[in-house]
Amino acid sequence: KKYELQLKFCDQVLKELMGPKNWYLNQYFTHPVDPVALNIPTYFQIIKKPMDLGTIRNKLNNNVYEKAKDFEEDVRLIFKNCYKFNPEGDLVNTAGHQLEELFNKLWAG
């Protein structure tokens, strides 16, 4: 009840981030990174706390987040992981920066 309104806003923001309009950016972040499928065997040695938009969707649906701040932390973890693994200038790194810009705009309300 207490943070219901905050979490409704999170849902709205997530819908936009994951929406088809932004597929060219979110396509890399909608599912957990699969190191086997992507042939990046070292991923879990580099990234200790994997996160993705699909996992966030599940956590939001299952009321795992108590408040908006917890949701925001997970979203920003996606970008942090992306920049740590994908070198500046790479396709996925650039997509991460652009999705982060969109998130910052949406988050500012």
The residues of the shown chain that bind ligand 8HZ, judged by CB under 6 A, are 28, 33, 38-40, 81-82, 85-86, 92
Nearer to ligand 8HZ, 60 or 92 (CB): 92
Nearer to ligand 8HZ, 25 or 81 (CB): 81
Q: How far is the CB of 41 from ligand 8HZ (least distance, A)?
A: 10
Nearer to ligand 8HZ, 39 or 45 (CB): 39
Nearer to ligand 8HZ, 65 or 93 (CB): 93
Beta strands in 1-93 (DSSP E): none
Q: How far is the CB of 28 from ligand 8HZ (least distance, A)?
A: 4
Task: Report, in this order, helix, strand and coil percent for the chain, each rounded to 5.
Answer: 65, 0, 35
Q: Which of 8, 28, 30 is nearest to 18 (CA)?
A: 30
- Residue 13, Cβ density class (10 Å: 0-12 exposed, 13-18 middle, ≥19 buried): buried
Q: How far is the CB of 18 from ligand 8HZ (least distance, A)?
A: 14
DSSP letter at 66 equals S
Token code pair at residue 87: 């070198």
